[in-house]
Chain A
Amino acid sequence: MRHRIGGLTLILIAAGVAAACRNNAGASADTSTVGRSASSTSSTSPEQSAESHLLVAGDSLRLIEHPENLPAGFPLQIKPLPIKNPYEGDKAAIASGAQLFVGYNCLDCHGADGSGAMGPSFQDGRWHFGGSPGDVFESIYQGRPDGMPAWGGRISNEQIWMLTAYVRSLSSKDLSTENFSGKTVERTGH
């Protein structure tokens, strides 16, 4: 299956930032929730997350400045704090995300259904910059060094979360073994 852009997508783009949600009735409540999550995401860098864990463990600043003072057995926290996507698994939001994926030209980089093109595939469940909701949000919000544009501030955080939900929903087709008997996908060339 391929995504087709409908009139709806163009309207979504034209309407721009806020009116993107199909459930306008709940927009203000949603926005406040999303706004909190988003601002905490954008203001929390991985370094700060690590630091906050150390703070929990106590006396962290000194430990960071003097890593040789780390007590034996001190657990090294490498995972950031989990950040929840308010739209995770929300079918309607995923459908909106699919339309945004076409409307913002994500499709022509990442391929139909995220099968991979100029940019990496989203279907394989493997992630260059992490696949948690927070990681994916951050990739879209900040961009990535090898060409992923930064969309933060250009589109709404709600839309980024919908894209996040959609992109994560694609990941189901990892192929760790290739024996040339499996299925193939239609690819589009440039």
Chain B
Amino acid sequence: MSRVLHAYSAILPLLALAACGGGEKPAATDSASSSGPQATSGATTGTAAVSGAQIAVAHAGPPGEWQMPAGDYASSRYSQLASITPQNAANLKVAWAFSTGVLRGHEGQPLVVGNTMYVVTPYPNVSYAIDLAQTGQPLKWKFRPQNDQQAIGRACCDVVNRGAAYADGKIFYNLLDGHTVAIDATTGNQVWRTKMGDLSRGETITMAPIVVKGKVIVGSSGGEMGVRGWIAALDAATGKEVWRAYNIGPDRDVKVGPRFKTFYAHDRGKDLGATSWPGDTWKTGGGAVWGWLSYDPALNLIYHGTSNPGPWNENQRTGDNKWTASILARDADTGEIVWALQVTPHDMWDYDAVNENILVDLPIKGQTRKVLVHFDRNGFAYTVDRATGEILLAEPFVPMNWSTGIDLSTGRPKVVETKKTAQDKNVKDICPSLEGGKNQQPAAFSPQTGLFYVPTNNLCMDFQARAVTYIAGTPFIGGNAPEKGGPGGYRGEFIAWDATTGKKIWGIKEPYPVWGGALATAGGVVFYGTLDGWFKAVDARSGKVLWQFKVGSGVVGNPVTYTGPDGKQYVAIYAGIGGDMGLLIAGDVAANLPFDVRERGTTLPDIAKWTSWGGELFVFSL
């Protein structure tokens, strides 16, 4: 497949209006006003654009469809649909809604292929094919997989599923109990089912696969269970495993070969995935692949992040702990590792690096650079050369205090001594918290503005590490990390980010962490949902909120847009609070369980006042 650049993105060489001047000060010095939960605080508006920016890979399928988790291999979450504009967005209305029949956190997004929408639920991972061409949206089929119930208690952070991928007439997705399934998109029949994860060792699967050249690429969760992280490829036709690469351990298992070339000298050497750990500790060292995948067809490279090292207690694993908390580039055919960038060496704050890598071509210092842009849990936004792994730029995108910046000569963060965690110490007020400046909620990119639209968290934590014993199938954590709101009196912000300069252009402060993803559209409207259940349309240039609707439950899912059989543009979003933020942190939001009533958490003490559980798809149109 050849790399196709969007023609339209070149047609819009927008003036770079006050690229920096209009933006806010860096987040760390923000003086945000406190906003109550009922307030949807106004945007600090700035107007800016980066001209000449392009998405690296074309949208998958026709512009009116959504065939991949992020719409394209580049993870841009950008759609060329342009009927909904800043001028008419105020007229958006609910077109229809659909209960998924499942509570718990609805991360992920539906797919739209032809006139069919595909929805995958959290555990038990039921999938639905919804006929968009008929009034009332009847089901074409419903698939209820065999899915081991034990998985519920082995998943660290709610029983979420981040969606399916479509290719070759099949829907591919992962089951919480460690299986990958292929379903005939027309009939709903299971074509194959392959066990990929070992539940008895705490391997569950929550991530959304992508399909690359006839291979389904998957990875597992379990960074909190002492798994040994891997990524694997299955034959899309047969379900047979084609390759599997571990992220930690000896070179042979990690698939380090002659092509492996890291940009920074200290990241070169033999068997670093084992020797940067004491003894055999790498065998239970985490480094799971539970986040989003990207693919550059021109370089034939898959980009993925790896999770935190295990356990959280850093005393039990001195060294860099490669390749946890890293961004890895692997050959799509073989899994061979081509470059690696460990963004948080020897992580001691639970800063997974699994967030999406958005593949774009950006004008940087007068040159067009082929980059990936990555908003890490650790609070830095990285602009990285995607052929080599060189960091071109890394700036904080949220309030932070654990590091004073990235040393661009080594690629390593400069760590603040007093924010280092240690066994039997209670280190106070570390920002961002372990939920990160951003977590699984994926950002979007618009070539029209050249800006990234990023849902963020503003939380801090105290961190108490303690010794922990590995017991297979139980958490391997060794730490408590109670969280609280970050500086400024808000707990989340939806921001527009210029990755060529590393600056925030505008931001919409939210009372709660923005745990749902973003969607950018050619109509100049950006969409996102909030934890307290508001679904919003925002002007991509100014950050002005154009429209909002209170959906049935808090939003932790990602909007998609498609063209209906009637030719109209629709926007779809899951409601359904949950995930790590909605389930574990919010606590008593789980009021549907009569045998599990919890005290409210201090982090989000009144989120349950605004929303409760419920899995529902909402679809909007003009």
Contact = CB atoms under 8 A, between A and B. Distances in A.
A119 B584 contact: no
Contact of B483 (A116, A117, A187): A187
Interface in B463-516: 464, 466-469, 471, 473-477, 479-483
A105 B473 CA distance: 10
A5 B311 CA distance: 15
B422 interface: no
B187 interface: no
B426 to A, nearest CB: 9
B584 A189 contact: yes
A189 B433 contact: yes
A124 B477 CA distance: 25
B469 A184 contact: no
Interface size class of A (residues with CB under 8 A): 35 or more
A31 B561 CA distance: 65
Interface string B153-184: 11111000000000000000000000000000
Interface string B578-613: 001100110110010111111111110110110000
A185 B584 contact: no
Contacts of B480: 2, 112, 186, 188
Contacts of A173: 599
A185 B483 CA distance: 11
A178 B588 contact: yes
Interface of A: 2, 4-5, 10, 13, 102-106, 108-109, 112, 115-121, 123-124, 126-128, 144-149, 173-176, 178, 180, 182-190
17 contacts: A2-B464, A5-B466, A105-B475, A109-B153, A118-B475, A119-B153, A121-B598, A178-B588, A178-B591, A184-B599, A184-B601, A185-B598, A189-B434, A189-B585, A189-B603, A190-B156, A190-B224
A186 B581 CA distance: 13
Contacts of B151: 147
A126 to B, nearest CB: 5
A187 B601 contact: yes
A1 to B, nearest CB: 11
Contacts, number: 148
Contacts of A180: 600, 605-606, 608-609
Nearest to A190: B156
B437 to A, nearest CB: 14
B608 A105 contact: no
A185 B468 contact: no
Interface in B546-588: 580-581, 584-585, 587-588
5 closest Cβ pairs, A-B complex: A147-B153, A108-B475, A186-B482, A187-B601, A105-B474
B151 to A, nearest CB: 7
Interface of B: 149-157, 224, 350, 424, 433-435, 464, 466-469, 471, 473-477, 479-483, 580-581, 584-585, 587-588, 591, 593-603, 605-606, 608-609
A118 B156 contact: yes
A185 B587 contact: yes
A149 B599 contact: no
B598 A124 contact: yes
Contacts of A148: 153
A110 to B, nearest CB: 10
A67 to B, nearest CB: 29
A4 B474 contact: no
Contact of A187 (B152, B466, B482, B595): B482
A187 B157 contact: no
Contacts of B435: 189
Nearest to B581: A189
A124 B591 CA distance: 12
A4 B466 CA distance: 7
A44 B154 CA distance: 28
Interface centre among A106, A120, A128, A186, by most chain B C-beta atoms within 10 angstroms, is: A186
Given A117-B584, A121-B598, A185-B601, A149 B473 contact: yes
- Residue of B467, B597, B606 most packed against chain A (CB within 10 A): B597
Given A120-B593, A147-B153, A190-B580, A182 B481 contact: no
A175 B599 contact: yes
B65 to A, nearest CB: 35
A44 to B, nearest CB: 23
A189 B598 contact: no
A120 B595 contact: yes
